[in-house]
Amino acid sequence: MHRKLFALARDNAGKGAGIRSEIDGDTATIYIYDVIDSYWGVSAADLANALQGITASTLVMRINSPGGDVFEARAMMALLSEFSGTVTAKIDGLAASAASFLMLAASTIEIAEGGFVMIHKGWTMMMGNADDLRSTADLLDKVDSSIVSNYAAKTGKSADDILAWMKAETWFDAAEAVENGFCNSVMPTTAAKADAKAKASTFNLSVYDKAPKALTEQQPPEDDQDLEALRVANLARLGLYERTAA
């Protein structure tokens, strides 16, 4: 059983800033600065609440997320696709995993210098017999195929190239993300590089095999007392996963 998805959400609980929105004239800005997960981070329901009542003609979606639940991100994309105005995405730090296709809901994607986009094949957690496992593998293939189609439509790259990048867990820095078509441009902001890395390194990326050192070396070791508090606070859910792992 693959526990990385659970670890990603659990280890980043409380590290993000959730979802918030602000309106300036005819432009609304939504900040998605968290892991994408209905329990540990931000959800489609949270986004729906943030979007409620927004009538601006332009929506700016600012992203700093280590990724999370693929289906939750899909639901968020569906909500954004129904927005009546123009949607622009700005990657302020990190758009990894599920967050890297959440950004595809925008017609234009900008990335801060020092920011990163990461794509990889889907993960899951499940239990069952051999037939169950084969069915789950088939489902993951379908999920990956749909994501490949989304990336290919945005970048113009071949499905084979996209899938190879996903298999390799590929991290694109700002220049590479633009060069390969994932983003349209690098944001011309003052001191953006250091600021973007600081935002991205907020998260615990230890579940990823190839996370850049620039995003991991600044992370202090977890305090044992903090980990114990988190374990106790989420005992019910943790216990559920521990039982399914047995």
Which of the residue ranges 14-23, 129-138, 156-165 would you say has the lowest mean pLDDT? 129-138
- What lies within 8 Å, CB to CB, of 226 at 6+ separation is none
* Domain range list for the chain: 4-245
Determine the pLDDT at residue 176.
97
Question: With 70 as the cut, is the pLDDT of residue 71 above it?
Answer: yes
User: How far apart are the C-alpha atoms of 150 and 104, rounded to whole Å?
Assistant: 7
Kindly state the average pLDDT of the residues 209-226.
Answer: 64
Question: With 50 as the cut, is the pLDDT of residue 13 above it?
Answer: yes
pTM of this structure: 0.74
* Residue 190 pLDDT class (50, 70, 90 cuts): low
Please name which of 66, 51, 64, 80 lies closest in space to residue 5, comparing C-alpha atoms: 66
Question: With 70 as the cut, is the pLDDT of residue 14 above it?
Answer: no
Q: 22 — phi, psi (to 5°)?
A: -150, 150
Kindly state the average pLDDT of the residues 168-177.
Answer: 95
Query: What's the CA dihedral at 164, 168, 173, 177 to 10 degrees?
Result: 20
Determine the pLDDT at residue 146.
74
**Could you report the per-residue pLDDT of 221-238, keeping only the tens digit for each?**
445 545 554 444 444 444
CATH fold for domain 4-245: 2-enoyl-CoA Hydratase; Chain A, domain 1 (3.90.226)
Kindly state the average pLDDT of the residues 13-27.
Answer: 82
User: How far apart are the C-alpha atoms of 190 and 193, rounded to whole Å?
Assistant: 8
Kindly state the average pLDDT of the residues 182-203.
Answer: 72
Determine the pLDDT at residue 131.
61
Question: With 70 as the cut, is the pLDDT of residue 55 above it?
Answer: yes
- What lies within 8 Å, CB to CB, of 80 at 6+ separation is 47, 59, 61, 87, 102, 105, 106
